[in-house]
Amino acid sequence: MILLRHDCLVFKTSDGESFPCSTKEVTVEILGDAIGLLDEEIIKQASEGVLHYFKAELGKTTVTIAEFSTALEQALKALGLHVQNGAETPSLSPAPRVVRSDLINVAMDAGQGLELFFFPQLRTVLEDVLKQSPDIACFRGLRGCVKQLLHAKRWSPGCQQLNDQIVDFLRSCFDIQKSASSCALLVC
C-alpha cells in the first residue's frame, strides 16, 4: 500500500473514480474564481482544518468531493465567510473585515519579561483589535513569537508549552472581551 502525503486525501468523484490529491488543490478547484476574493491565509487554515477533521477526528482518508465541499463550506462559515456551493461555482457574500496583528512585534516590545510584560501587552493588543469591530481577529507569527520569547533556535517541548499557553490566553481574553458580535479569532 502506498502512503498518502500528509496533506492529501483520496477523493471519490460522482462517477465512482478515486484519486489522491492535496486538499489545497481541491479547495482551489471548489472555490474557483472566488478564491481571488478571499484572504489566502484564511483559505489555507480552513482547508487544513477540514483535512484534520477527516483524518484525525473521523479517521478517514477517502472522502467524496461533496463531503469535502460541505465541510469546507462549514469551516469557512465559522470564519465569517459565506460560500455557497452551486452547480459549478460558489457564490460569495462580501469579504469579512480582518484585523491582523503580529505576535512577533508584541514579543519584541515585551523584551525579557514574559509574564510581567508579554501577556499584559498581548491583552492590550487584543483589546485594540476588538475595538475595530472586525469579523476576524487574526494574530500571525505565533511560532516566531514563541521562539523569540524563549530565545530558541529549534522547536522544543518548552516551545510547545508556551505556544499552547499563548493560544489559551488569547482564547480566554477573547471570550471575555468580545462583544455580542460574531467575531472569530484566528491564531497562526
* Length of the chain counted residue by residue: 188
The verdict on pTM exceeding 0.75 is: no
Reported as a single tens digit per residue, the pLDDT across 125-151 is: 999 999 988 888 889 999 999 999 988
Write the single-letter amino acid at 92: L
186 neighbors 136 (Cβ within 8 angstroms): yes
Mean pLDDT per block of 10 residues along the chain (188 residues) reads 68 76 76 69 80 81 82 78 50 66 90 80 92 87 91 92 92 81 80
- 161 phi, psi to nearest 5 deg: -65, -45
Domain ranges across the chain: 8-92, 98-187
Sign of CA dihedral 27, 29, 31, 35: positive
34 neighbors 90 (Cβ within 8 angstroms): yes
